Amino acid sequence: MGYTVAVIGATGNVGREILQTLAERKFPADKVIALASEKSIGQDVSYGEDDILKVQDLNKFDFHGVDIVLSSPGAKVSAVHVPRAAAAGAMVIDNTSQFRMDPDVPLIVPEVNPEALAGYRKRGIIANPNGATILMAVALKPLHDRYKIRRVVVSTYQSVSGAGKEAMDELFTQTRAIFVNDPIAKSVFPKQIAFNVIPHIDAFMEDGSTREEWKMTVETKKILDPKIKVAATCVRVPTFIGHALSINIETEEPISAEEARIVLRAAPGVSVVDQQTGDGYVTPVEIAGENPVFVSRIRDDITVENGLSFWCVADNLRKGAALNAVQIAELLVRDYMVE
């Protein structure tokens, strides 16, 4: 017997990737329902290579009879419809920031804290972490298990797809405008994104950091270890797909690049590509559509007692969003939904 699965936000970047990932990984679904807000009703979305789904109206949809909901609209839409779906008996995996820090909602990266999934019973909701946080947590987990990480300093290089389809269009349109000498139009980003970098993702907070930076700090603590200190600087860069992170860690146990490379090579979800040549490291354009978190440029940081620096890149729409959500659904089915 297969499951009835609904995807909220099915026309967005992440919603489309969720449908693709469900089909690609042969998720045991008998029926898949695509849901979105009014403006997308009746649109076609692909489910795998062969199937097309008609988008239905989220506002009017009755979730009774749906087993699993994968939700990826904005946080405000999730605030309304995720509890509604959970109350109707569905298990909901939400990709927005709405429920991530709720103590009764597990925040899951399957390679890192699968045991926390049991907590879903309290509200019927599971949160998918912020994309950049997921990528970092996958790489930090094996190092934390082996060396106990005290402090992380991370700078991100986040592609425009993390901000949605309109953001991708804005990068494209601005780039073309520069070449043909048209005026630069801005609507998604606060500054020109083409041929520029913007150290501002999500809203500013009172202490001067941004919400994206705050998310990386508090979510890492919830997923991995509340004792880990994280200082994050999040930057939007003019790439279309793939978030990259420059990470520096300080550990309690002595650490070396040579040994860390071996530890990371053995870690689930991590692929180490690390040679000191032009081909020996990974960049965002090379990994679109790939599942692993790629780690390169692993090197000792000799400015502190136990320090390591490395570079990490992954497809933000896949492992940073859709794939992680589908992996959570796979765990649910495997460990919690067996009749």
Best CA proximity match to 80, nearest among 52, 108, 60, 107? 60
- The pattern of x and - marking residues 161 through 200 that bind ligand 2RA according to CB under 6 A reads -xx-------------------------------------
Region 227-246 residues binding ligand 2RA, contact defined as CB under 6 A: none
Look-up: residue for tokens 């136990």?
306
Provide the minimum distance between the beta carbon of 16 and ligand 2RA in the complex, in angstroms, as a whole number: 15
201 binds ligand 2RA (CB under 6 A): yes
State the minimum distance, in angstroms, from the CB of residue 282 to ligand 2RA. Answer: 18
Interface with ligand 2RA (CB under 6 A), residue total 8
| Burial classification of residue 339, based on how many CB atoms lie within 10 Å of its CB (0-12 exposed, 13-18 middle, 19 or more buried) | exposed
Please tell me whether residue 121 adopts helix, strand or coil conformation: helix
Which residues, in sequence order, are CB contacts of 269 under 8 Å at separation 6+?
Answer: 111, 138, 291, 292, 293, 319
When asked if residue 131 is in the footprint of ligand 2RA (CB under 6 A), the reply is yes
| d(C-alpha 114, C-alpha 108), whole Å | 6
- Per the residue annotation, which of 81, 144, 200, 243 is the catalytic one? 243
The residue sitting closest to ligand 2RA, measured at its beta carbon, is 162
Residue for token pair 């300080």: 250
Provide the minimum distance between the beta carbon of 136 and ligand 2RA in the complex, in angstroms, as a whole number. Answer: 11
- Residue 162, annotated as binding a ligand: yes
- Examine the residue annotation and report whether 243 is marked as an active-site residue of this protein: yes
Among 11, 130, 306, 327, binds ligand 2RA (CB under 6 A): 130
Q: Which residue in 331, 151, 132 sits closest to 251, CA to CA?
A: 151
CB–CB of 11/43 below 8 Å? yes
Which residue positions form the known binding site for substrate? 158, 236
Residues forming the site for ligand 2RA (CB under 6 A): 130-132, 158, 162-163, 201, 316
- Binding residue positions for NADP(+): 11-14, 39-40, 161-162, 316
